[in-house]
Amino acid sequence: MCSIHKKLAVAVALSLSAIVGCQRIVPPPTVSPVNTNPVVIDDAMKYRDWDRSTSYYQNGGTVAGGTAFIWQTHETIPEGWQRYTDVPVSLANILSMPVGLFVDSPFKPQVYRGEAVPPTYTANPPLP
């Protein structure tokens, strides 16, 4: 009986150590950053009197079930070092999956939003 308690204590210690370097799954940003540099207006553009037009495009939302995962690798960890946190984060997700089934249920449909681009002239990402 004592060995079961030791195994449980080791499992709890490993799961607690796996949480180091983890964060709760963060939803993506609602609006994507775009290049906000003003459009350069030349003399020819001043004389044009065109009507404004609007472009409509799909929102990119996908309806699917949840993943039941609660944890992900923290975004401040450099990409090369994330390989060392993948196994502990996976173990933390496996151990917390019973809770994750209620928090992020795979049986309820959820909408995963695509990239939201605010009104802009170019819709280009900001330049470095």
Q: What pLDDT, in 10s, does the model give residues 60-115?
A: 788 888 888 888 888 788 888 888 888 888 899 899 999 888 888 888 898 887 77
Task: With respect to residue 73, please indicate whether it lies within any of the assigned structural domains.
Answer: yes
Q: Which domain holds residue 93?
A: 58-115
DSSP string, 21-87: TEEEPPPPPSS-----PPPPP-HHHHH--PPP---------EEEE-----EEE-TTS-GGGHHHHHH
Q: How far is CA 92 from the centre of its chain?
A: 18
Q: Cα–Cα distance between 18 and 93 in angstroms, integer?
A: 10
| Total domains, the chain | 1
- The pLDDT, as a whole number, for residue 18 is 54
Q: Say how many C-beta atoms besides its own lie within 10 A of residue 72's C-beta.
A: 15
Q: What pLDDT, in 10s, does the model give residues 5-43?
A: 666 666 665 665 555 556 666 666 667 777 777 777 788
Instruction: Spell out the residues 6+ positions from residue 78 whose beta carbon is closer than 8 angstroms to its own.
Output: none
pTM above 0.75, yes or no: no
The DSSP bridge partners found for residue 71 are: 24
Task: With respect to residue 8, please indicate whether it lies within any of the assigned structural domains.
Answer: no
